[in-house]
Amino acid sequence: MNKSSQIKVRVAPSPTGLLHVGTAQSAVFNYLFARKNGGEFHVRIEDTDEERSTKEFEKDILAGFEWLGIRPDGQIRRSSDNKQNYRKFLEQLLESGHAFWCGHSKEELEDENKRQIENKEAPRHVCGHRDEERKEGQVIRLKTDSSSTREIVFNDLIRGEVRFRESLLGDISIARNLDSPLYHFAVVIDDIELGATHILRGEDHISNTPKHILIYEALGRPAPTYAHLPLLLAPDRSKLSKRHGIVSLNEYKKDYLSDAVLNYLAAISHSYDKDVLSSEELIEGFDISKVHKSGAVFDIKKLNWLNSQYVKMLTPDELRAATKISEIPDAAVALITERLEKLSEAGEYDYLWREPEYDKSLLIWKDSSVDAVLKSLKETKELIESFNYEDGKERFRKVLDSLSEKTGDRGLVYWPLRVALSGKQKSPDPVDIAFVIGKEKTLERIDSALRK
RNA sequence: GGCCCCGUCGUCUAAUGGUUAGGACAUGAUCCUUUCACGAUUAAAAUACGGGUUCGAUUCCCGUCGGGGCUGCCA
């Protein structure tokens, strides 16, 4: 593929909030599309709103992409680095007569809008100030033909042909002044500057697209190819937002593996032939034409399950790093990963490396008496004292089973032992725990149970 | 209100003219069993509705209904 035909895509978040999972998904799709097609993936911080943009939000967004492992090609870009271009193109548009200064007050615009809604007309501003001299407090608008019968048509990679009537658009505001562009204008100039060939963005931008196309036309530039991604939805099928709980991607770090989140984000609204996929498989199987049209509800339960699948594949070192618990012994890893759904729950297995605390009443198995439990525990202790751990778990179980054969109740042996070793009513097999902590600690814990 | 997008189990989805409408998550049951988890088996669960086109529609067309997005001198 030669340079001029190479695919270039970007994700362009504005740093006016923490990284939203929807933005993250959009970034993932752009990344996958670029990687699959041998193109470039760029990140551009769309900081045109100087009032609301902050460096903290920018850092959060970038950290999120990094965590997901979607590395951009080339430097991070910023709209604020592109100011001279805005001025240049704005002047060009003003000179060529494609843009003009509009002096209508906000009140006048609101009245116009109200009137249009009452009259069941399309809300738009058709400016009567077009050719007047420039005054203070004005805004730059793109001149559109309100009597045009033409349709602006674009071929969306996901949705096919989409059409909008030009006459319904009105004169679009594009800048507050020569140095302060508005989003619609800034995004077009930034994409020209970048040389973006394809724009993959959320469906919420679909009705902005004809505006952007008009700006490309006024500038005499070809518009890129568009693909509007379906939205990530809350359980009530509205756009996912703060009131639906966690939408900030970085909040997922404490509970989820980045691979699981990447997998989940990539596989929602796009069909793969299996559920658990490596990042290579994600790229290999990605096909923009397989992206769905309808929005998808973000299902935390499925993410939990996917995460548990990834957790099971963790090595001891990876588990310790992911949970930030360095004390986890190698032998305990399988016992934990088999049960763990969220990383933050790993601490619940701390009895595998630390003395448990519990209430003595927990030691009692079903309806059995205190005496029976104590007797069982004592006998268990004696057996363990004379048992050689080298003989292995299976032998260990046989020994315990021979004890329970006397009463015919295995629970009477295993239950008190489990509580003595774990301090919990739900835990892995006490034999497994005994082999993680070793003979000495096993006997110590039985002793301390006996003293209760 | 206007414009646009969308509509298969509760959720994510497969099947683009012919299938007993398949899978996964979640849910119930059973098995395994000393508890939990894992695992295995299994059950219930969907083509929004109405018209067409066709020998035959989940699939194509139209309408209705429903949901969503946009409608800023925010992005």
Separation of alpha carbons A30 and A7, rounded Å: 11
Give the DSSP H or E segment for A103: none
The closest nt to A267, taking CA to C1', is B12
**Residue A234 CA to B20 C1' — how many Å?**
35
Q: Average pLDDT in the A219-227 region?
A: 97
Choices 3.40.1390.20, 1.10.260.40, 1.10.10.350, 3.30.420.10: CATH for A360-450:
1.10.10.350
Is residue A219 within 8 A of residue A92, CB to CB? The reply is yes
In this structure, are residues A61 and A23 in contact, taking their beta carbons and an 8 Å threshold? yes
Q: A14: which nucleotide lies closest, measuring CA to C1'?
A: B75
The three-state secondary structure class of A432 is helix
CATH of domain A1-75+230-313: 3.40.50.620
Q: Which nucleotide minimizes the distance between its C1' and the CA of A428? A: B36
Query: How far, in Å, CA of A40 to CA of A263, rounded?
Result: 21
Q: Is 70 exceeded by the pLDDT of residue A349?
A: yes
What's chain A's average pLDDT? 93
Q: Give the model confidence (pLDDT) of A189-207 as tens digits.
A: 999 999 999 999 999 999 9
Handedness of CA A284, A289, A292, A294 (dihedral sign): positive
Q: What is the pLDDT of residues A235-253, one digit of tens each?
A: 999 888 877 777 899 999 9
- What is the distance in angstroms measured between the alpha-carbon CA of A204 and the sugar C1' of B19? 37
Q: How confident is the model at residue A225 (pLDDT cuts 50, 70, 90)?
A: very high
Mean pLDDT of A427-452: 95
Our measurement of CA A409 to C1' B31, in angstroms, reads 21
CA–CA separation, A306 vs A263, rounded Å? 8
Spanning CA of A272 to C1' of B47, the rounded length in angstroms is: 21
pLDDT at A5: 66
d(CA A311, CA A337): 6
In Å, the largest CA–CA distance within chain A is 104
- Residue A384 in this model has a pLDDT that exceeds 70: yes
Which residues in window 164-203 of A are less than 7 A from strand B by Cβ?
164-165, 168, 173, 176, 182-184, 186, 203
| CA of residue A315 to C1' of nucleotide B66, angstroms | 49
Global pTM value: 0.94
CB of A250 closer than 8 Å to CB of A19 = yes
Tokens coding A177? 């002044």
Q: Which of residues 44-63 of A touch strand B (CB under 7 A)?
A: 46, 48-49, 52
| DSSP SS3 for A44 | strand
A451 is near strand B: CB distance < 7 Å: no
Does the pLDDT value for residue A159 go beyond 60? Answer: yes
Question: Whose CA is nearest the C1' atom of nucleotide B37?
Answer: A339
Q: For residue A414, say whether its CB is under 7 Å from any atom of strand B.
A: yes
**A415 C-beta less than 7 Å away from strand B:** yes
pLDDT at A106: 87
pLDDT at A407: 82
Instruction: Scan for tokens 């986890």, then name that residue.
Output: A328
Distance A281 CA to B22 C1' (A): 23
Q: Are A256 and A345 in contact (CB under 8 A)?
A: no
Do A1-75+230-313 and A360-450 come out as alike in CATH topology?
Answer: no
Is 50 exceeded by the pLDDT of residue A1? no
The DSSP result for A303-327, as a single string, is HHHHHHHHHTT--HHHHHHHHT-TT
**CA separation (Å) from A145 to A130, A151, A199, A290?**
12, 11, 26, 37
**Minimum-distance residue to B39 (CA–C1'):** A338
- Confidence bin at A406 (pLDDT 50/70/90): confident
The reply to whether A300 has its C-beta less than 7 Å from any atom of strand B is no
Place of tokens 């991604």: A229
Q: What is the DSSP string of A221-284?
A: ----EEEEEPPEE-TTSSBP-GGGS--BGGGGGGTS-HHHHHHHHHHTTB--SSS---HHHHHH
Residues A44-85 have pLDDT tens digits of: 999 999 999 999 999 999 999 999 999 999 999 999 999 999
CA to C1' distance (Å), from A307 to B22: 25
Query: In the beta sheet, which residues pair with residue A160?
Result: A156
pLDDT at A214: 97
Active site residues of A: 242
Residues 94-123 of A with CB under 7 A from strand B: 104-106, 109, 113, 116-117, 120-123
Angle, CA of A314, A316 and A317, to the nearest 5°: 95
Q: List chain A domain ranges.
A: 1-75+230-313, 316-352, 360-450
So what's the ipTM on this one? 0.94
Sign of CA dihedral A57, A63, A67, A68: positive
- Closest nt by CA–C1' to A233: B68
* Bases of strand B lying below 7 A from some protein CB: 1-8, 10-15, 24-26, 33-38, 67-75
Q: A242 among the known binding-site residues?
A: yes
What percent of chain A lies above the pLDDT cut of 90? Answer: 88
Q: Which residue is nearest to nucleotide B4 (CA to C1')?
A: A207
